């Protein structure tokens, strides 16, 4: 059978995009379920932030085996920043990592992100999307900081859901 590379790649590409779209939809379907179970006494933002905390903790644990102190703290930091980026790239985002001008500083730039699109599809306020992302990013650091006995922080400088074109986060040693 003749091999048609274009056909194989386009099929694979299509399936990858469908899977990435499903990640966002699945999250927001679960959000709806959680809100129904929680009932009117709970604010949607509180429920979402709790979910973000659980997600952040889980992702943080998955970072631990990948990070290695052997090549020094600067290399370790870039590897941490790249782990952050990789997590969102898997979901379909375009994320770049740059070294900061200060020692032990890195910038993570989301040039495209599928999450605000999914949030919009399910009628979720854009600010909730930003706050949940922040929560996930910060919670990831909790275990990482304790495990490596360091104190790093991450802060949001710009956010796509706020209409600022990119999400820009600064990861730095506090």
Partner 1 sequence: MAKLLFDWDYSSYPGAKKYPHLFKPIQIGNLIIPNRIKYAATEDNLNTREGFITDADVAYIRQRAKGVVGGICTMQGVYMDRNRQGQGYVGQAAAWDDKFIPGLRRLAEAIHAERAVAGYQLMHCGRVGAVEVQYCQGPSAVPQRLRIFRPVQEMTKQDIKQCVKEHVEAARRGLEAGFDIMEISGIVGYLISNFISSYTNRRTDEYGGDIRGRMRFVVEIIQEVKKLCGKDVPLGIRLCAEELLDDVRGNSPEESMETYKIAEEAGVDYISVTAGWQESIVPVISRDVPMGSWIHLAKRAKEHVKVPIQMAYRLFKPDLPNQAIGDGHLDMWEMCRPMIADPLMPKKVLEGREEDIRHCVACNLCLARLFRDAPMTCYINPVCAHESDPKYADPEPAEEKKKIMIVGGGPAGLECAYVAARRGHEVHLYEKRNELGGTLIEASKAPYGDDELFNCIRYQKTQCEKAGVTFHLGTEVTEEVIKEELPDSVVLATGPIYSKPKGIGLDRANVVNVLDVLSGKAKVGDKVVVWGNRKPGIGVALYLAKQGKKVTIVGKDKSAGFDVNPSFKWRYMIYLRQNGVTAYNDCDIEEIKEGEVMVKTYDGYRIPVKCDSVVMTEREANPGLKEVVQREGIELFVIGDALVPRNLSSAVHDGYRIGIRI
Any contact of residue 61 with partner 1 (CB under 8 A)?
yes
Q: Which of 1, 150, 3, 167 is nearest to 67 (CA)?
A: 150
Selected range binding partner 1 among 7-15, 103-111, 113-121, 131-139, rule: CB under 8 A: 7-15
Bridge partner residues of 106 (DSSP): 99, 171
Give the nearer residue to partner 1 in terms of CB position, either 128 or 143: 143
Q: Which of 113, 134, 138 is nearest to 45 (CA)?
A: 134
Any contact of residue 11 with partner 1 (CB under 8 A)?
yes
Select from 41, 65, 72, 163 the one that contacts partner 1 (CB under 8 A): 65
Q: Count CB atoms within 10 A of the CB of residue 160.
A: 22
**Would you mind telling me the total number of residues written for the chain in this entry?**
174
Any contact of residue 3 with partner 1 (CB under 8 A)?
yes
Any contact of residue 70 with partner 1 (CB under 8 A)?
yes
Which residues inside 130-149 make contact with partner 1, applying CB under 8 A?
143, 146-149
Q: Dihedral, CA atoms, 64, 68, 69, 74, nearest 10 degrees?
A: -100
- Those residues whose C-beta lies under 8 Å from the C-beta of residue 84, and which sit 6 or more positions away, are 95, 97, 108, 137, 140, 154, 169, 171
How far apart are CB 151 and partner 1 at their closest, in Å? 12
Residue ranges of E strands in 22-166: 94-99, 105-112, 152-158
How far apart are CB 1 and partner 1 at their closest, in Å? 7
Selected range binding partner 1 among 28-36, 65-73, 92-100, 122-130, rule: CB under 8 A: 65-73
Any contact of residue 69 with partner 1 (CB under 8 A)?
yes
Which residues inside 85-124 make contact with partner 1, applying CB under 8 A?
none
**With contact defined as beta carbons under 8 Å apart, do 130 and 159 qualify?**
yes
Residues in touch with partner 1 (CB under 8 A): 1, 3, 5, 8, 11-12, 60-61, 64-65, 68-70, 143, 146-149
């Amino acid at each position: 059978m003749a091999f048609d590379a274009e056909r194989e790649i386009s099929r694979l590409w299509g399936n990858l995009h469908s899977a990435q779209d499903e990640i966002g939809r699945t999250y927001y379907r679960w959000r709806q379920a959680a809100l129904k179970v929680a009932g009117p006494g709970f604010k949607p933002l509180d429920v979402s932030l709790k979910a973000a905390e659980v997600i952040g903790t889980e992702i943080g644990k998955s970072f631990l085996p990948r990070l290695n102190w052997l090549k020094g703290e600067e290399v370790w930091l870039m590897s941490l920043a790249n782990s952050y980026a990789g997590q969102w790239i898997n979901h379909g985002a375009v994320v770049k990592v740059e070294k900061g001008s200060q020692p032990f500083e890195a910038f993570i730039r989301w040039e495209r992100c599928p999450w605000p699109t999914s949030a919009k599809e399910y009628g979720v306020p854009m600010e909730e999307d930003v706050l949940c992302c922040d929560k996930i990013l910060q919670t990831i650091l909790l275990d990482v900081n304790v495990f490596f006995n360091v104190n790093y922080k991450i802060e949001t400088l710009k956010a796509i859901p706020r209409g600022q074109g990119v999400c820009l986060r600064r990861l730095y040693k506090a």
